[in-house]
Amino acid sequence: MTTTFTGRRSPSWLRSTVAGLFGLFYAYAVWTAVAFLIAQAVAVEGLTGAGWAILLFAVVFPIIVFIAGVVIARGRPLLHLAVVLLIGLGLAGVFWLNILTFAVRSQSSLFGS
């Protein structure tokens, strides 16, 4: 049994504003990952190939999650869009913490030429 939403759709400018506000938080996650990548790349030891791959994926991951969240919530009520983007932001945050933990615990596989 499926149910369909028959209420009024929210204006597109409101949906764009909500997506834009969440986009700023996602942009901060990308900016933080880029800053960490640059700081590790110009360090004395540099990065290995695996270090480049992992830290570059940490830069791209929030972008992928944001795009997926907007696509998933397309055509749904505004509250669903906000909830999906909030869940995606939490997912990106947990992934970032995993990257930091991995960088601290296994420095020999990420750093050093």
Strand partners, 111: 47
Helices 12-41 and 78-105 cross at an angle (nearest 10°) of 10
The model's pTM is 0.85
Q: How far apart are CA 51 and CA 99, in angstroms?
A: 10
Asked whether the predicted pLDDT for residue 58 surpasses 70, the reply is: yes
pLDDT band at 113 (very low <50, low <70, confident <90, very high): low
Average pLDDT, integer, range 104-108: 80
d(CA 7, CA 10): 9
Per-residue model confidence as pLDDT tens digits over 1-55: 566 655 567 788 999 999 999 999 999 999 999 999 999 888 878 888 888 999 9
What's residue 99's pLDDT?
A: 92
Phi/psi of residue 4, each to 5°? -115, 150
Report the distance separating Cα 82 and Cα 71, nearest Å: 12
Higher pLDDT among residues 72 and 49, named by residue:
72
